[in-house]
Structure 1
Amino acid sequence: MAQSRSSGLHSRGLLTTPSSSSLSPPPLRYAVLGAGFAGLSVAWHLLRESAKDLNLRIDIYDEIGIGGGASGISGGLLHPYSPKAKLLWRGAECWNECLKLLSVAESAAIDSQELDSAISDFDPHFHGLIVRKRGVLRPAVSMKDLLLLSDNARNCLPSCRIETLDEDAAQNIVPNLRLPLNKAFYMPQALNILPKRYVQALYLACKNLAKELSTSGVGEKELHLHKKNVHKLVDLEGEYQAVIICLGAKADMLPELAGKIPLRTCRGVVAHLKLLDDIGEEYPELGPSILSDAWLAIQGPRSLYMGSTWEWKSRNSSPNVSTSEASQALEELLPKAYAIYPDLKNWTFTGARAGLRAMPPLTPHGSLPLLGCVDEIVGESMGCKYWLFAGLGARGLLYHSWLGKLMAQAVLACNEQLIPSELTSWNNRNQ
């Protein structure tokens, strides 16, 4: 694969050998639109997968900044399973690659003072980490749910096993937990991520990698963040070897792509709840997050997020939540959460935030993200200049690392065939 990338670049005259010129060639320039899970994964892997002697510049464009969209407010619950299948599509590859990238980001975060310390909802019980290995517990709420989750438990990955618990065993982990069918499925190796801090740390890791590669190799690597919106792809015409569009739901708002990609938009509200100081009973220090009709992403003994609502066809990408929208979200989510965790009635609502998710179409393999070259849609005839990585939906955290790696490899080689056909078949020319 590395040989294919290099030969593709040589054939386009983009690489020179030391013997062919004593002058350093100009850098290859790539634009990544979006600084969420997808965009930062692509940026990392462009740096990691490119040849060491290649001069490379990556410009990331995001008007809000790192993790300002749906990625930054996601629930952060990570595991490779689906209630509708034994394992999500390519679940093992996605899980393993995601663990690698999380480790990279956490290593960058541990010794850094550069991360945004102004995250108001950051809980001190995370002790500066972005990954909390507390596990996820999923109650069975219907017979169909019970059968599918039981099948998952029989076919689980060794690196993310599933244990079946009755109500008594579940209450040993989380006191007063209620199980409608007396069964819960516990994934002790599943992860609870602080998404905003994760994407900030991943960006820092990208900066560190660019610096490391520039000092240790013969090629210069550059990474730049531009807090500006790209209103039209034509505005970037002539500046870049490739433009990778990782804008989530906003991809459909680009005039060149509007109405031409099969994305559905869905606005979701996430509520933040805390225990007040005069409440003595805390959530167990090592208690798992809860995945049900309303999920509870535990941030610490006295802080959690609850989500999420599903407002289909919304075009509202603002993270701000009005009083009425917050009230509607609580009215929808709290009864579902109380049914599983009644002690939540002691918790106090402290605020809400929202994100606009980009949901992909349903395929025989499930709802899979959209990847591939979109030159023909955009109207570019030069070949493999514009690329799309969108539709991560509710599984963005699981999918982003492996698919970002595939996208980077395809972009560097200018070869869409490196991407599995399941992810490119949405484009009519590939059918």
Structure 2
Amino acid sequence: MLPPSCFIRNPSPTFLPWEWKSPGSRGGCSRGTTSSVLLSSPSQRPVRCALLGAGFAGLSVAWHLLQHSSKELRVCIDIYDEVGIGGGASGVSGGLLHPYSPKAKLLWRGAECWKESLNLLSIAEAAWHSRESTSETQEFDQELNGFIVRRGGILRPAMDIKNLNVLNDNAQNCLASCRIEPIDKDTAQSLVPKLCVPFNTAFYMPKAVNIHSQRYLQALFLACENLVKELSTSGFGGTKLCLHKKSVNKLLELQGEYDAVIICLGAKADMLPELSGRLPLRTCRGVIAHLQLPDNIGEDYSDHSPSILSDAWLAIQGPRSLYMGSTWEWKSRNYLPNVSAEEATKALQELLPKASAIYPGIKDWTFAGARAGLRAMPPLTPHGSLPLLGCINDLVGGNHTCKYWLFGGLGSRGLLYHGLLGKLIAQAVLLGNEDLIPSELTSWRRKSNS
């Protein structure tokens, strides 16, 4: 029996295998050619895809596979994650979303990434607000009692002269859709009382947003389920989406079951024996502390006050709740989200002095818990630290009817990159054409093979 998170339309007969064109490389994906996967023949058997990981990368790919396949193409997607939706580092993310680097420079394809991320956020919000309370959504009802997107903006005080000059320069060249506004101390403190503004200037991004990552991921999965239902009512049978709370220990376990396997496991990708030690990723464990304002202390924050960026960031959850982060423990192999008392104490000792230097009022807040995630940090390129994408049959080895793809290394900017890159790799998978992925995102693999 299929799990309750599966939505199936009409049973599909078996037809000829999913065809790929290849220019002769062993197990490779086509470059410069288009596969026949998008042929809209009604007799074509379903295209079966396995997605490993249910975080930002995995759910973005799932949505775009469903969205960008032709209605006649019956795409069947199995998502594998042993913890479930948002169980890894994505679900622990602080959720501050804007298209700029720490120096306020626009990141790689920042305008496109910003647009696609906002689009997915709107899709997730719409799915949640239009939901019906059923037995299948009771679990979501408990998880999504608060906001998904908090539109209070983000505020960044200038901490030294060099920082002030850099931020001023970049404020002149910011995106119109996410502008950077220099504001004086009085204006900044009207937004956040008690804020420290050393050089009488802070930089405000009114359109930047704060995402509750776990709620967002649950809502995006719900949007994927809704899309499957909509396709079914349109008369196109066979599309399916299933979430399996189980791990995949070896890629070769899936051989013969799927036409495409997309690995979206973040730091856990290195645990697969076929990829262990072969990906140019660094791991970094980050601890985020949850703080609350005691009932006997008056509120500093209104419902629409901005979050704060500095050496330690403050992601505001409401007038009396915030997340503070994040620590950086390089080369960690600890995937567990649970934080020991010793680790939490160490994190507070590191983060509180940084936060209080910019917001002294943080000393009135009390510790309410901590959570952690293991980030997969990508290598530095001439375009910045970019995620890893591409077909990896050469890394997996052997001759396969299945094609293996990687979408990994989102690092600390997963929210910004996941929308656009999930769309790009989904289109590449559907067409069997890696040329649809910008070469700067696939160059890592050519270096790995050299």
TMscore range, shorter length: over 0.9
> How far 1:372 sits from its partner (Å)?
0.4
Q: Given residue 83 of structure 2, which amino acid in structure 1 is its aligned partner?
A: I
Match runs of 1:127-166 below 5 Å: 128-166=146-184
Q: What secondary structure, in the 3-state scheme, does the structure 1 residue paired with 2:444 have?
A: coil
Change (3 A) 1:159 1:402: same
> How far apart in 2 are the matches of 1:365 and 1:398?
15
Q: Is the 8 A contact 1:83 1:148 kept in 2?
A: no
Matched, 1:223 2:241: yes
After superposition, give the CA deviation of every residue in 1:384-416 in whole Å (9 maximum; x if it has no partner): 700000000110000000000000000001111
Matched, 1:346 2:364: yes
Q: Given residue 259 of structure 1, which amino acid in structure 2 is its aligned partner?
A: G
> How far apart in 2 are the matches of 1:249 and 1:396?
13
In the other structure, the counterpart of 2:203 is 185
Q: Given residue 182 of structure 1, which amino acid in structure 2 is its aligned partner?
A: N
**Bigger CA drift: 281-290 or 46-55?**
281-290
Q: Given residue 49 of structure 1, which amino acid in structure 2 is its aligned partner?
A: H
Q: What secondary structure, in the 3-state scheme, does the structure 2 residue paired with 1:399 have?
A: helix
Match of 1:88 among 107, 128, 140: 107
Matched, 1:366 2:390: no
> How far apart in 2 are the matches of 1:380 and 1:60?
24
**Bigger CA drift: 330-339 or 107-116?**
107-116
Q: Given residue 330 of structure 2, which amino acid in structure 1 is its aligned partner?
A: W
Match of 1:420 among 438, 446, 449: 438
> How far 1:116 sits from its partner (Å)?
2.7
> How far apart in 2 are the matches of 1:361 and 1:217?
46
Q: Is the 8 A contact 1:371 1:407 kept in 2?
A: yes
Matched, 1:108 2:127: yes
In the other structure, the counterpart of 2:3 is none
> How far apart in 2 are the matches of 1:53 and 1:59?
19
Matched, 1:324 2:342: yes
> How far 1:283 sits from its partner (Å)?
1.6
What is the Cα-based RMSD across aligned positions, in Å?
A: 1.9
> How far 1:9 sits from its partner (Å)?
4.5
Match of 2:66 among 44, 47, 50: 47
Q: Is the 8 A contact 1:266 1:359 kept in 2?
A: yes
**Divergent runs of 4+, >4 A:** none
In the other structure, the counterpart of 1:98 is 117
> How far apart in 1 are the matches of 2:180 and 2:95?
19
After superposition, give the CA deviation of every residue in 1:228-263 in whole Å (9 maximum; x if it has no partner): 000110111111000000000001111100110100
> How far 1:166 sits from its partner (Å)?
2.0
> How far 1:219 sits from its partner (Å)?
4.3
Match runs of 1:168-247 below 5 Å: 168-247=186-265
Q: Is the 8 A contact 1:275 1:303 kept in 2?
A: yes
Matched, 1:27 2:46: yes
In the other structure, the counterpart of 1:74 is 93
Match runs of 1:345-424 below 5 Å: 345-382=363-400, 385-424=403-442
The runs of 5 or more residues in structure 2 that have no matched partner are 1-20, 22-29
**Bigger CA drift: 279-288 or 164-173?**
279-288
Match of 1:302 among 320, 327, 341: 320
Q: What secondary structure, in the 3-state scheme, does the structure 2 residue paired with 1:80 have?
A: coil
Identity %, equivalent residues? 69
> How far apart in 2 are the matches of 1:338 and 1:110?
37
In the other structure, the counterpart of 2:275 is 257
> How far apart in 1 are the matches of 2:281 and 2:402?
21
> How far apart in 2 are the matches of 1:236 and 1:17?
26
Q: What secondary structure, in the 3-state scheme, does the structure 2 residue paired with 1:63 have?
A: coil
Q: Is the 8 A contact 1:32 1:245 kept in 2?
A: yes
Q: Is the 8 A contact 1:29 1:242 kept in 2?
A: yes
Change (3 A) 1:85 1:422: farther
> How far apart in 1 are the matches of 2:263 and 2:120?
20
> How far 1:167 sits from its partner (Å)?
1.6
Q: Is the 8 A contact 2:40 2:70 kept in 1?
A: no
> How far apart in 2 are the matches of 1:402 and 1:355?
23
The runs of 5 or more residues in structure 1 that have no matched partner are 19-23
> How far 1:8 sits from its partner (Å)?
3.9
Match of 2:288 among 270, 273, 277: 270
**TM-score (normalised: structure 2):** 0.88
> How far apart in 2 are the matches of 1:418 and 1:384?
19
> How far apart in 1 are the matches of 2:408 and 2:102?
23
**TM-score (normalised: structure 1):** 0.92
In the other structure, the counterpart of 1:21 is none
> How far 1:286 sits from its partner (Å)?
1.3
> How far apart in 2 are the matches of 1:35 and 1:388?
14
Q: Given residue 56 of structure 2, which amino acid in structure 1 is its aligned partner?
A: F
Q: What secondary structure, in the 3-state scheme, does the structure 2 residue paired with 1:276 have?
A: coil
Change (3 A) 1:383 1:419: farther
